[in-house]
Amino acid sequence: MIGVLLIIPLLIVRYLLPLFFDKSVMNRAAFAPPAQGREKIAFAFYFLSTLAIPIYMFFIRVNTESKLFYIGVPVSAIGLLLYALSFINFGKPSEQGINTNGLYKVSRNPIYVAFFVYLLGCALMMQSLVFFALLIVYQVSVHCVILSEERWCIEQFGNEYIQYMKSVRRYL
């Protein structure tokens, strides 16, 4: 099986699931805060790795005969489930605009966490060090993007977001 088939479930969740909500969900999901200083470098790595991961998946095969494949399948399934739940929760923010429901009670960034878990499962199924390296570059750059998003949220929501930050972890 070619690796690119593993991207299809992510595309379904990312682009079809939000259609069941109002149009603002797609706009909010696509929003990136203005980058400042070194954040611009992190955003560049983020966008390049986000592009490189599915492109690389066109050229790699999934090794279904490996023990790691059987570990990767449930890891990816859990990641995909969390990804879908995260988007469902994302589609229902509070009146102030901060998501604090569902998985957002456990993590301030469940979409990013779920995406990483899914891709980690894919890395296990594909057994590719190149893919794993791309995933690490993606995750490090995502951390910088998240810091930028948090700065923006503090500017937009003030003390309410600061209190949210104190009560809910960034990742897990």
What DSSP letter does each residue of 26-72 carry, written as one string?
HHHHH--PPP-TTHHHHHHHHHHHHHHHHHHHTT-B--TTSHHHHHH
Cα 119 to chain centroid distance, Å, stands at 9
Quick one: which of 74, 58, 69 has its CA closest to 118? 74
Give the per-residue pLDDT at 75. 98
Cβ partners under 8 Å of residue 25, min gap 6: 18, 90, 91
116: phi then psi, degrees, rounded to nearest 5? -65, -45
What is the rounded distance in angstroms from the CA atom of residue 20 to the CA atom of residue 96?
21
Tokens 């690796």 map to which residue? 3
Residue type, 41: I
| The two structure tokens encoding residue 98 | 């901060």
Give the per-residue pLDDT at 36. 86
Confidence of residue 2 (pLDDT cuts 50, 70, 90): confident
How much is the CA Rg of the chain, to the nearest whole Å?
A: 17
Q: pLDDT tens digit string along 40-96?
A: 999 999 999 999 999 999 999 998 999 999 999 999 999 999 999 998 898 887 777
* Per-domain residue ranges of the chain: 3-167
154: phi then psi, degrees, rounded to nearest 5? -65, -40
pTM for the full predicted model:
0.92
- Higher per-residue confidence, 1 vs 132: 132
What 3-state DSSP class applies to 162? helix
What is the rounded distance in angstroms from the CA atom of residue 51 to the CA atom of residue 65?
28
Tokens 């998501």 map to which residue? 99
Q: What integer best gives the mean pLDDT of the chain?
A: 92
